[in-house]
Amino acid sequence: MFWRFFSFFLCQFAGGLAGWYVASPAAAQTGALVGIVLGGLGWLLVDLSRSMRLLRWLRVGDASDVAMRTGLWGEVSDRARRLIRAREQMTRESQNRLQDFLAAFQASPNGVVLLDSQGRIEWFNQMATAHFGFDAQRDMLQHFGNLVRDPGFANYFASHDYRNELVMPGRESTPARPVKLSVHLHPYGEGRRLLLSRDVTALEQAEAMRRDFVANVSHEIRTPLTVLGGFVETLQTLPLSEQERERYLALMAQQADRMQTLVSDLLTLSRLEGRPPPGTSDWIPMPVLMRQLEQEGRALSAVLNPLSDRLHRLVFDSLLPGEVAGASNELLSAMSNLVGNAIRYTPTGGEIHVRALLLPDGRAEFSVQDTGPGIAPEHIPRLTERFYRVDRSRSRDTGGTGLGLAIVKHVAQRHGAELKIESTPGKGSIFTILFPASRVRPCPDTMLASPLDASGSLSAAENASNTLM
């Protein structure tokens, strides 16, 4: 500031001195006065041009250089440059933060849509594009309600009651392949709304399956319970002969058995789901499994046909002198389910052929072929669903729970194996479990001859772990 006044007075002094010197001696005083005014004006002009330069520079706002370096305007320009730099730095930081937020929204597994107070789309992420089919160029600033026309959503949007989420059909939903989206609006700012969307198709399916499962289990248990209740009441209220009592008690025992089998199959399934898949440290010799299956199969055929002199023709071919890695109890349960089904669904006199063989590519195949009624093709994809039965009364009559093939499929998957079902109605069916080569190895020779214990079942060591089923 001192320099500013000093330079101003210096200019006036220099002007006055020049005026005094240039003017004639008589007009020296006037000349000096004019010189002082002109000196002051000159200083003002220079100052004005410097301030104009500063103004021009401020308009451009280039913080990389200053407009001038000296004097008051130089200092103003320097301070302005620092301010501009600080602002630029803050803007850069806010932009980086904004980009980080947007990147986080992009990474979200949920669809995110930002709506302004009019309900127009201000921003959306990739997932929202997948959920609603938006186009980043075309749909920005479009009204959300014009693009998503589901009536349920329109009501939800207009209600302004966003406490709960809404489940609506997805864009690509068809009756055959329903897609469900959950959308939830959250108000924020001044009338703005944040829309979050999630694909809940799998969740909804799981929930529907859970509901069906509970309904099925209740139904399966209620039927024998009702029958049991009826018999108990009859026994309590009616005077019955000894013969009738025995007949009723036998029927009651049958219903109790049915419930027990059902509960045991349910427990098996739940244990299979709750345990990690079996490793490859335990090797189960196939010939041993086959011998046990044969024994069980013949016993079942005899039990199911007590009065018939013609039982099933059961053939057991163990062409697999090898071992399979896994859990012996699970494998035995799956295989005996297949053998049991073949015996239960094939009329007496029919043939059941059980094979275990090694394929040229190192995989092993366990198959059960029967000459039973066969299964129509439309039922085959659904056979491994829980409680799915082709013929309900036949299944129940023979003690079926509708869970057998679900257990077989689970066990196969846990062993990395594949369950194949081929069937021709009227001719018979073949159920095959294909084990991967990584779970198959040749059997030591000693195994081939031995280890059935006295009862003909799996050896003691294997039975020790046979607690699952």
DSSP letter at 399? T
Stretch that binds ligand ADP, among 171-179, 285-293, 306-314, 384-392 (CB under 6 A): 384-392
**Binding residue for ligand ADP (CB under 6 A) from 182, 290, 404, 462?**
404
**Binding residue for ligand ADP (CB under 6 A) from 402, 411, 415, 440?**
402
Report whether 58 contacts 43 (CB < 8 A): no
Residue 373 interacting with ligand ADP (CB under 6 A): yes
Residue 341 interacting with ligand ADP (CB under 6 A): yes
Report whether 25 contacts 32 (CB < 8 A): no
What residues contact 14, with CB distance under 8 A and at least 6 apart?
Answer: 35, 39
Report whether 141 contacts 122 (CB < 8 A): yes
Angle at 107 between CA 106 and CA 113, to 5 degrees: 35
Tokens of residue 362, six digits = 């190192």
- Nearer Cβ to ligand ADP (15/400): 400
Stretch that binds ligand ADP, among 220-228, 284-292, 322-330, 366-374 (CB under 6 A): 366-374
**Binding residue for ligand ADP (CB under 6 A) from 112, 405, 447, 469?**
405
Q: Residue 14: what residue type? A: A
**Binding residue for ligand ADP (CB under 6 A) from 332, 342, 356, 433?**
342
Give the x-and-dash track for 157-196 against ligand ADP (CB under 6 A): ----------------------------------------
**Binding residue for ligand ADP (CB under 6 A) from 197, 336, 371, 395?**
395
What residues contact 51, with CB distance under 8 A and at least 6 apart?
Answer: 73
Give the x-and-dash track for 421-450 against ligand ADP (CB under 6 A): --------x---------------------
Question: Least Å distance between CB 388 and ligand ADP?
Answer: 6
- Measure Cα distances from 249 to 169, 253, 459 in Å: 53, 6, 37
Stretch that binds ligand ADP, among 52-60, 126-134, 402-410, 411-419 (CB under 6 A): 402-410
Q: 82-89: which pairs have CB atoms within 8 A and are 24 or more residues apart?
A: 88/63
For residue 197, the tally of other CB atoms under 10 A from its CB is 25
DSSP string covering 236-268, please? Answer: HHS---HHHHHHHHHHHHHHHHHHHHHHHHHHH
Number of residues that bind ligand ADP (CB under 6 A): 22
HSE-CB of 386 using CA atoms within 13 angstroms: 18
Question: Least Å distance between CB 354 and ligand ADP?
Answer: 12
Q: Residue 38: what residue type? A: L
Residues 200-239 that bind ligand ADP (CB under 6 A): none
Residue 389 interacting with ligand ADP (CB under 6 A): yes
Residue 335 interacting with ligand ADP (CB under 6 A): no
Angle at 185 between CA 184 and CA 191, to 5 degrees: 175
23 three-class SS: coil
- Nearer Cβ to ligand ADP (318/429): 429
What residues contact 129, with CB distance under 8 A and at least 6 apart?
Answer: 111, 135, 136
- Nearer Cβ to ligand ADP (326/400): 400
**Binding residue for ligand ADP (CB under 6 A) from 57, 345, 366, 435?**
345
HSE-CB of 445 using CA atoms within 13 angstroms: 0
Residue 372 interacting with ligand ADP (CB under 6 A): yes
**Binding residue for ligand ADP (CB under 6 A) from 113, 375, 417, 419?**
375
Residue 383 interacting with ligand ADP (CB under 6 A): yes
- Nearer Cβ to ligand ADP (381/456): 381
Residues contributing to the site for ligand ADP (CB under 6 A): 337, 341-342, 345, 370, 372-373, 375, 383, 388-391, 395, 400-406, 429
